Chains A and B, each alone.
Chain A
Amino acid sequence: MHLIDRYAYMSRIRFIDPAQKVALSGLVIGLCLLLDRPAVGLVAVLWMAGLAIIWAGLPAVMVGRLLLTEGLFLLLAVVGVAMSLSLVAPPASFQSIQFGPLWVSSNAESRALAALLVTRALGCAATMNLLALTTPLIDLVDLLRRLRLPIVLIDLITVMYRFVFVLLESLQRMHTAQQSRLGYATRRAALRSSGLLASRLFIDAYQRSTRMQTALESRGYAGDLRVLPLNYQHSRLVYGLGAAIAVSLLLAWYLS
């Protein structure tokens, strides 16, 4: 969480209007889902990784590692789609290997479906990576405010986001305090300490929320968390990028 947040704040395109970034992401995800060819997903991955590194200035190694991790995860997830296990011999149209009584088989159709699933999901994941690593949550919340979503929902997201970090700090402090008193010295002690930590964290969250309510009231809180809107830059480049990406994805679909 801290890491994603840090990259989002460091990004060169941090101040571009989140509405534009969300629209661009929506366009790419929409095309990845609509155009059912593996090449579309691959082109989307290349675009998004390129934009993350060149446009947003994110470290190439981090972007590569992230995509690799997601890719491996997706590959593992589609093994079941590409291959099937059976105790009876598969039809002749299937490529198969026999391990004792067990048959592992696969055919061109299932492999194509697995490839489509992986590339499509990876294209979407790369798009979400770009959005998440260049847009802090407060910008997305600000966008929700502009979209006139219910104030209660927006206030809730704002406070939850703030509390994630406050509670993470508490968690670390309590964990260190437990460690210093041999709270994690044995497996049994670790289990007990973890349980105590979870219950204590719940109480801590409740107490903090009460204190926050008091602090908000002292500054005139009357039911909604009114704050100044943030200022963003409107980038014309985003329109050009959107058009170029759409054309390239359509071409990839048409040519493959």
Chain B
Amino acid sequence: MTVLLELDNLFYCYPGYPKPVLNGATLHLNAGQKVALIGRNGSGKSTLLLHANGILRPDRGQVHVAGQPMGYQQHVLREWRRQVGLIFQHPDDQLFSASVAQDISFGPLNLGLSAEAAHQRVTIAAEQCGVTDLLERPTHTLSGGEKARVALAGVLAMEPLVLLADEALANLDPWMRQQMITIFEQFVTQGKAVLLATHDLHTARTWADRIVMMESGHVIADAPAETFLPIR
């Protein structure tokens, strides 16, 4: 099975903090996999995802995307971020543009695509996320669920191989959560992979193929979802 993302023995300490947030974290993600990343607050989940997208650079360890070790030069980062998309818990942090269509077009244009190609990507991503009718709307008039789908469309428009979702289902109602999960499912059926950081153990057990558990900056359990015991 093709390994799309490998995080190998990562160590990271935020500047000014004595305790490392990542302490030898190792994780791999295969094509077609749905992985749930669980763990307490402060266990290092979000920091790990930021490393996977190249926002943070590990003090030690290596990140591989589609078998290639990643560098941190601007042109390498651009390709890296094309392949590994990241969505956040609060879509308001992600939506910066006044109109939905413009916001979704931001990523494709940063990849150096022409306006025409970017427009095509916007149309496809909007369709995938069910936000076609919102394209002309200003972002500040959207509901929470709509914002979440638009934020997801903004990442899918970059056509990543791996989708990282940092508690992206939190704060959503069950219907909206189901819609997001359906979009994740469609994404995975294209031979891509999703890594969802979540506190929702039910979603983790019912949706994911694999559950990875973090504690104190490293992975303490990594097993198929069906073998993962209920946590009391």
Contact = CB atoms under 8 A, between A and B. Distances in A.
23 contacts: A9-B138, A136-B138, A138-B98, A158-B96, A158-B98, A162-B97, A166-B92, A208-B92, A211-B88, A212-B93, A212-B94, A212-B96, A218-B85, A219-B81, A219-B154, A220-B77, A220-B81, A222-B74, A222-B110, A227-B97, A227-B105, A228-B102, A228-B109
B21 to A, nearest CB: 15
Contacts of B107: 219-220
A226 B110 contact: yes
Contacts of B96: 158-159, 162, 212, 215-216, 225
Nearest to A168: B140
Given A166-B92, A208-B92, A219-B110, A136 B98 contact: yes
Contact of B102 (A159, A208, A227): A227
B92 A219 contact: no
Interface of A: 5-6, 9, 136-138, 141, 158-159, 161-162, 165-166, 169, 208, 211-212, 214-222, 225-230
B139 interface: yes
Shortest 9 CB-CB contacts between residues of A and residues of B: A220-B110, A165-B140, A138-B98, A227-B102, A228-B105, A211-B93, A219-B107, A215-B94, A226-B109
A227 B86 CA distance: 19
B98 A219 contact: no
Contacts of B214: none
Contacts of A220: 77-78, 81-82, 107, 110-111, 158
A162 B81 contact: no
B140 A166 contact: yes
Contact of A218 (B74, B81, B115): B81
Interface of B: 50, 53, 55, 74, 77-78, 81-82, 85-86, 88, 90, 92-99, 101-103, 105-107, 109-111, 115, 118-119, 122, 137-141, 154-155, 158
B33 to A, nearest CB: 21
Given A136-B138, A138-B99, A220-B81, A226 B106 contact: yes
A158 B94 contact: no
User: Which of B74, B81, B92, B101 has the most chain A CB atoms closer than 10 A to its own CB?
Assistant: B92
A32 B117 CA distance: 46
A208 B97 CA distance: 15
B97 A158 contact: yes
A85 B27 CA distance: 82
Given A158-B96, A219-B158, A138 B102 contact: yes
Given A138-B138, A228-B115, 6 more contacts: A159-B96, A218-B81, A218-B85, A219-B106, A220-B78, A221-B106
Given A162-B139, A208-B93, A218 B86 contact: yes
Contacts of B110: 219-222, 226
Contacts of A141: 98
Contact of A214 (B50, B74, B85): B50
Contacts of B118: 228
A138 B136 CA distance: 11
Contacts of A9: 137-138, 141
A137 B102 CA distance: 14
B47 to A, nearest CB: 12
Contacts of B98: 136-138, 141, 158, 161-162
B93 A215 contact: yes
Nearest to A215: B94
A230 to B, nearest CB: 7
Contact of B101 (A162, A214, A228): A228
A162 B140 CA distance: 7
A211 B93 CA distance: 6
Contacts of B92: 166, 169, 208
User: Which of A159, A169, A217 has the most chain B CB atoms closer than 10 A to its own CB?
Assistant: A217
B119 A228 contact: yes
A221 B126 CA distance: 21
Contacts of A136: 98, 138
Contacts of A217: 55, 81
A208 B90 CA distance: 10
A219 B125 CA distance: 14
Contacts of B139: 162
Nearest to A138: B98
Contact of A230 (B85, B99, B111, B140): B99
